[in-house]
Amino acid sequence: MIRTYSSTSGRFDWTGFLFAVVLAIVIAVPLLVVFTWAFTEIWRYPAVIPQKFGLRFWNQTLSRADVWDALSISLQLSATVTALSALICLPAAYAFARMKFPGRDLFFLSFLASHAFPKFGLLVAIAAIFLQLNLIATFWGVVLIQLVGTLMLMIWIPVAAFQAVDRRMEEAARDVGAGPLRVFWSITLPQAGPTIFAAVLLTFVSTFYETEGAWLIGAPQIRTMPVLMINFINNQVVIQYGAVLSVILWVPSFIALMFARRVIGTGAFAKGFGA
Amino acid sequence: MARLTIESLRKFFASTVAVDDFSLDVADGELVCLLGPSGSGKSTILRMIGGFEQPTSGAIRIDGQDVGRLSPDRRPTGMVFQSHALWSHMNVFNNIAFGLKLRHLPRAEIRRKVEAALELVGLGGYGHRQTFQLSGGQQQRVALARSLVLEPKILLLDEPFASLDQHLRERLREEVRDIQQRLGITTLFVTHGQDEALALADRIVVLRNGQCEQADAPDVIYRNPQTQFVAGFIGQMNFIAANVEGGTFRHPEMSVAIGAQDGPAVLAVRPEALGLVAAEGGAGVTVVRSTDFGSHIMVDVELSDGTRLKAMTSPAMRWERGTRARLVPSAYALYRDNKLVVSGTVGASTAAPAFGAAPLVV
């Protein structure tokens, strides 16, 4: 992946090589360690390579009821939050992209506001309010807190997607007899579709991994996968439980990012921020 | 079939005037070209007829019915956009069928109509293709078929060939003309290319700053331009500024007896109406360039006041750079404040046609 030979002089590119090594250590080694631990049965000091590989801890982890409960809760939460977020944000994104109304820029920036404060401070403040509303440790409490976090992603990317749709296409559809709603459904949405799909996917994944809000508002009744993983890592003597869970959690995000790559590559983020 | 009437159309954008008091009557089956430089308001007029812009004032009537306040989907107009604006998530068939589906036609009839439309634009059997698999010319044909399949009363073409290369553009415009005449569909065509307008139109409307400068048949526009702007915009034209004194247009290198009042004026002479005769001694104008076009030679000359003129001469005579020559105009037109004052042929200043032999009335 990294070209270590410069094409002009043919000399070894030591700077590039150094960067490659540093990046590999920082990114790849932790991953490697977690992966190794997940498939290890016995690994005692001072061996560099585990003494025994195996799937014993996978069986044990996957047979735990709390893991499946957490997975179910996590999927329900993510699906609910993503659907609500799309319901709220997509029409708003279309309005921001296509319509002119007073206070447009201010509204647009307000979606960024929740990201402009230290997140934990905000969460604690919200938790205090939720306590009075009896939302602490409830499903909908967690949904609400996670919804706030998804707003930015679900607004900014779809705004760029809608803006990228050629207006002439929409006009051509009006010209052949389609009303405004029909144009949106048959032309605008399919045209913006791939980008919006990526935004939905990213929202789902980021909600799936969201930890602080879920932990602060949801504990102890609502335990999501990441919260469970942190519990395992903090409280269990056996490292493998945490490692196995990490690897399981890693898979969906990897798939999602593969899908999202094409969107990020086309500069949808940049366009959203330039809007 | 359909007659388009535009009355005192006006369009203001914020503080700028895009279209100012524009009126036009397009007869049934006529192809009218709106021609003008960018910013002349020609596209705005077309978009107002299509319903994509709201007129500030004025009326747009199709067969006597005022459509000025209708939204685009309720107007009997079909528009072809410069950028073809095909829906890239649908194949060719579905692009053309979309409008028919909205009208809830039976499937068999949709299929028949779409295939007929594709046949009409010379793309029979292309229905299953994706739009991005087509060339620029084919895409524009599909866009044309998409409009025509709905049998609009008025066809609107907004610089449909602007993004195509020269060769393709010429071929496609002939095909469009054929189709238009075969269907007898009333058509309004916007372009900034004078070749396109001259080749296509029954009538050309020359626009400047949102106002109509002249609306006439192509040959009239070319041979009898009523304003200095039209004279300069269509074809090549030489302009010489000087004073009229005592019935004569007086310029050191070109004096023409003219029936006009005294005062500053601009003399317009087409290159093909400007002859060159070798001048003795240091008199006359200087040849600065001579370009051989095969059928004729275009000679650029410079006047003593720095004005450059073009003269079309026969290939029999070679004009070297630096040669002195005398100008012999055979036909001219005189403009004052953009308005035509008089036109005529040299020797007999009459109201006869200015450029060429066609018996046209000024």
Tens digits of per-residue pLDDT, A91-110? Answer: 888 888 888 888 888 888 87
- Cβ of residue B73 closer than 8 Å to a chain A Cβ: yes
pLDDT of A60: 82
CB contact under 8 A, A191 and B87: yes
User: Of A84 and B276, which is predicted with more confidence?
Assistant: A84
Distance from CA of A165 to the nearest CA of B (A): 10
pLDDT tens-place string over residues A5-54? 444 556 788 999 999 999 888 888 888 888 888 888 888 878 778 888 88
Examine the pLDDT at B110 and tell me if it is beyond 90.
yes
Which residues in chain B are classed under CATH 2.40.50.140? Answer: 229-345
pLDDT of A269: 52
**Average pLDDT estimate for B325-352:** 76
- Cβ of residue A193 closer than 8 Å to a chain B Cβ: yes
Q: At what angle do helices A29-38 and A239-265 cross, to 10 degrees?
A: 130
3-class DSSP string for chain B: CCCEEEEEEEEEECCEEEEEEEEEEECCCCEEEEECCCCCCHHHHHHHHHCCCCCCEEEEEECCEECCCCCHHHCCEEEECCCCCCCCCCEHHHHHHHHHHHCCCCHHHHHHHHHHHHHHCCCCCCCCCEHHHCCHHHHHHHHHHHHHCCCCCEEEEECCCCCCCHHHHHHHHHHHHHHHHHHCCEEEEEECCHHHHHHHCCEEEEEECCEEEEEECHHHHHHCCCEHHHHHHCCCCEEEEEEEECCEEECCCCCEECCCCCEEEEEEECHHHEEEEECCCCCCEEEEEEEECCCCEEEEEECCCCCEEEEEECCCCCCCCCCEEEEEECEEEEEECCEEEEEEECCECCCCCCCCCCCCCC
Tokens for B25, please give them: 């009557």
Examine the pLDDT at A235 and tell me if it is beyond 50.
yes
- Cβ of residue B77 closer than 8 Å to a chain A Cβ: yes
Chain B residue whose CA is closest to A171: B52
Q: Give the rounded percent of residues in chain B with a pLDDT score beyond 90.
A: 15
- Cβ of residue A181 closer than 8 Å to a chain B Cβ: no
| In CATH, B4-223 is 3.40.50.2000 | no
Band (pLDDT 50/70/90 cuts) for residue B40 is: confident
Q: Give the rounded percent of residues in chain A with a pLDDT score beyond 70.
A: 91
Which residues in chain B are classed under CATH 3.40.50.300? Answer: 4-223
pLDDT of A264: 56
Band (pLDDT 50/70/90 cuts) for residue B357 is: very low
B299, β-bridge pairs: B290, B311
Strands in B203-208's sheet, in edge-to-edge order, are B77-80, B154-158, B186-191, B31-35, B203-208, B211-216
Enumerate the residues of chain B whose CB falls inside 8 A of the CB of residue A175.
50-51, 72-73, 77-79, 147
Chain B residue whose CA is closest to A181: B73
**Average pLDDT estimate for B176-187:** 89
Interface test with A, best of B46, B53, B54, B81 (most A CBs within 10 A): B81
Of A168, A171, A190, nearest to B89 by CB-CB distance is A190
Query: Which fold, B229-345?
Result: OB fold (Dihydrolipoamide Acetyltransferase, E2P) (2.40.50)
Of A172, A176, A193, nearest to B102 by CB-CB distance is A176
Q: Which domains does chain A have, with CATH numbers?
A: 65-274 (1.10.3720.10)
Tokens for B14, please give them: 């914020």
Enumerate the residues of chain B whose CB falls inside 8 A of the CB of residue A166.
83, 85
**Mean pLDDT, chain B, whole residue set:** 85
Distance from CA of B151 to the nearest CA of A (A): 10
Examine the pLDDT at B358 and tell me if it is beyond 60.
no
* Lowest mean pLDDT segment, chosen from A105-114, A211-220, B350-359: B350-359
- Cβ of residue B89 closer than 8 Å to a chain A Cβ: yes
CB contact under 8 A, B83 and A168: yes
Q: Which residues contact A258 (CB under 8 A, 6 or more apart)?
A: none
Examine the pLDDT at B311 and tell me if it is beyond 70.
yes
